[in-house]
Amino acid sequence: MVVGGGPAGLEAARVCAERRHHVVLFEAANRLGGQVLLGARASWRKDVLGIIDWRQAEIERLGVEVRLNAYAEAADVTAEAPEIVIVATGGVPDLDWIEGAAHCTSVWDAIGGTVALGSELIIYDGTGRHPAPQVAELAARDGRQVSLVSIDGQLAQELTYVDRVVWKKRMYELAVPTTFDHEIVKVGRNGNRLVATFRNLTTQALVERAADQIIVEHGTRPADELYRALRGASANDGVTDLPALLARQPQPRSIRSEAAFELHRVGDAVASRNVHSAILDSLRLCVAL
What value does the CA radius of gyration of the chain take, rounded to a whole number of Å? 21
Cβ atoms within 10 Å of 54's Cβ, excluding its own? 12
Q: What is the pLDDT of residues 94-148, one digit of tens each?
A: 999 999 999 999 999 999 999 999 999 999 999 999 999 999 999 999 999 999 9
* Digit-coded pLDDT (tens) for 267-281: 999 999 999 999 999
Q: Is the separation of the CB atoms in 136 and 217 below 8 Å?
A: no
Residues contacting 258, CB < 8 A, separation 6+: none
Instruction: Summarize the confidence of residues 161-181 as an average pLDDT.
Output: 97
Distance from C-alpha of 268 to C-alpha of 221, rounded to nearest angstrom? 7
> E-assigned strands of the chain?
2-3, 24-26, 65-67, 84-87, 91-93, 104-106, 120-125, 145-150, 178-179, 182-190, 193-200, 206-211, 213-217, 220-222, 262-265
Q: How many CA atoms lie within 13 A of 239 on its CB side?
A: 12
The rounded Cα 176 to chain-centroid distance in angstroms is: 25
Query: For 32-68, what is each residue's pLDDT tens digit?
Result: 999 999 999 999 999 999 999 999 999 999 999 999 9
Residue 9's Cβ-count burial label (10 Å; 0-12, 13-18, 19+) is: buried
What pLDDT does residue 252 have?
Answer: 85
Share of the chain above pLDDT 90, in %: 94
Give CA separation, 7 vs 116, 240, 272, in Å: 27, 19, 13
pLDDT of residue 260: 82
